Structures are given as structure tokens and as C-alpha cells.
């Protein structure tokens, strides 16, 4: 199981510094949507992160103009880019083809989509499907039961990432469950006084 550490709402310089510190501890380092919007792909490209061990995910949350945004995202040295499941099938299909052409990865963000739409877009074998509890949503997210429910409904989808306020206990439970491919953690790593220690604690909790 992979650990994805999400960095957001800090300066680009702070994000790059933290990314270097987490390089090799987290399997994937995410530059979140707010960070990408604040600084843009041009600035990220002009300030290369040059990770040695971890992959860089740029959370574009593409909804339209998919081919253009994905080409620019890969030019900015992203290893993994995100597209919203709520976008058109054609958009998802086109960005998937571009991702395959570049030998990179894409994550389909399933935020606020119904099961019928997931069934429609469940055929992208190499894509990561992201269960994503909205930051703005009220109520608590049970990542373990949500992942089990998703697997029961869509057993053919093999690559699943889970995000939404996941703590150490949930990360450990997800690892024991053995369904999710990636656990995404934001503030409980990047927002702590010692992100390196926090990331190591998550990695330890996820190691069975």
C-alpha cells in the first residue's frame, strides 16, 4: 500500500522544501489543487522539484479541456494527474490516452458522482480511482467501510485511492483490509510540526 502526502495552502517554496523532505518517505507527493491554482503549472514547471524517489501528483481536477491540461501537467513534470469523474466520458478517455502515451498515471476523482457514472467509466484499467470525501462536506467519513462498499459494487476496479481526513487508525485498518492501493493524507502530515515524523508514523501503521 502506498502513502500519498498532500501539500496545499502554503507558498510554492515551502511546498518544494517539504516535498524534498518527504521524498522517499511518502510514495507519492501531491501538490494540491489550491497550490496548483495559486501558482499555476508554468511556475511549477519553472521551479522543478526533481524528486529522486517519490512520484509527483498534480491535483488538476480537470473537468474539461482535458488534453490541453494534461499535456501541460506532464510538461510541468507531473507523474500523476487528476481528472474529475463528473467530466464527460470523452474527456476522461482522451486524458487516459494521453497518460498512456506519456507512460504516466492518472487518478479519476470520484467526488460526488453516482454509481451509474462510475459504471460508465470503470473500464480504464491503468487508472487510479479516488474515493474522495469532500473537505467542505459535513459529517465524518468512514474510509474503511466506504472502501469495502466500493469494492463490493465495483470489484473489477483494482487501483483504488482513498482520501478524507484519514488518521493513523484508519490507515492501519485500510492496510489490513487490503483493498486500497493508496492512502492519501493531507494535514495530518503536512500540517504537523514534524511532517517527516508524521509520514513515518503513517508508513509504519500501514506496514503489516
Domain boundaries, the chain: 2-205
For position 100, what pLDDT does the model report? 98
pLDDT band for position 132 (cuts 50, 70, 90): confident
Mean pLDDT of the 68-75 span: 98
Average pLDDT score over the chain: 95
pLDDT tens sequence across 162-184: 998 899 999 999 999 999 999 99
- Indicate the pairing of strand 105-109 with strand 160-163: unpaired
Alpha helices in 1-65 (DSSP H): 12-22, 33-46
For position 139, what pLDDT does the model report? 63
Q: How many residues does the chain have?
A: 208
CATH assignment of 2-205, among 3.40.50.1010, 3.20.20.70, 1.20.1600.10, 3.40.50.280 = 3.20.20.70
For position 138, what pLDDT does the model report? 56
For position 80, what pLDDT does the model report? 98
pLDDT tens sequence across 86-99: 999 999 999 999 99
**For a pLDDT cut of 70, what percent of the chain falls above it?**
97
Residue 105 or 136, more confident: 105
Nearest residue to 51 via CA among 15, 24, 80: 24
What b/e sequence results for 44-81 when a residue is b if at least 16 CB atoms lie within 10 Å of its CB, and e otherwise?
Answer: beeeebebeebbbbbbbbbeeebeebbebbbebbbbbb
Rg (Cα) of the chain, in Å, rounded? 16
Residue 112 has pLDDT above 60, yes or no: yes
pLDDT band for position 137 (cuts 50, 70, 90): low
pLDDT tens sequence across 27-68: 999 999 999 999 999 999 999 999 999 999 999 999 999 999
Whole-angstrom Cα distance, residue 148 to residue 187? 24
Alpha helices in the chain (DSSP H): 12-22, 33-46, 66-75, 89-101, 115-120, 143-153, 168-177, 187-190, 195-205
Grid cell 501538490 in the structure block, residue? 31
For position 94, what pLDDT does the model report? 98
Cell digits of residue 23: 521524498
For position 124, what pLDDT does the model report? 98
Nearest residue to 109 via CA among 133, 131, 77, 127: 131
Amino acid at each position: 500500500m502506498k502513502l500519498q502526502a498532500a501539500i496545499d495552502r502554503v507558498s510554492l517554496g515551502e511546498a518544494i522544501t517539504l516535498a524534498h523532505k518527504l521524498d522517499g518517505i511518502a510514495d507519492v507527493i501531491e501538490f494540491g489543487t489550491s497550490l496548483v491554482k495559486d501558482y499555476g503549472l508554468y511556475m511549477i514547471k519553472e521551479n522543478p522539484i526533481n524528486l529522486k524517489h517519490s512520484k509527483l501528483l498534480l491535483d488538476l481536477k480537470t473537468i474539461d479541456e482535458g488534453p490541453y491540461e494534461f499535456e501541460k501537467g506532464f510538461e510541468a513534470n507531473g507523474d500523476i494527474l487528476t481528472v474529475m469523474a463528473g467530466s464527460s466520458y470523452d474527456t476522461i478517455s482522451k486524458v487516459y490516452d494521453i497518460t498512456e502515451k506519456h507512460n504516466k498515471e492518472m487518478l479519476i476523482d470520484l467526488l460526488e458522482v453516482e454509481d451509474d457514472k462510475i459504471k460508465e467509466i470503470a473500464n480504464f484499467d491503468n487508472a487510479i480511482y479516488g474515493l474522495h470525501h469532500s473537505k467542505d462536506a459535513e459529517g465524518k467519513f468512514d474510509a474503511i467501510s466506504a472502501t469495502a462498499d466500493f469494492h463490493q459494487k465495483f470489484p473489477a476496479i483494482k487501483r483504488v485511492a482513498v482520501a478524507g481526513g484519514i488518521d493513523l487508525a484508519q490507515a492501519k485498518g485500510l492496510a489490513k483490509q487490503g483493498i486500497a492501493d493508496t492512502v492519501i493524507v493531507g494535514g495530518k502530515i503536512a500540517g504537523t510540526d514534524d511532517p517527516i515524523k508524521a509520514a513515518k508514523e503513517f508508513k509504519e501503521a500501514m506496514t503489516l
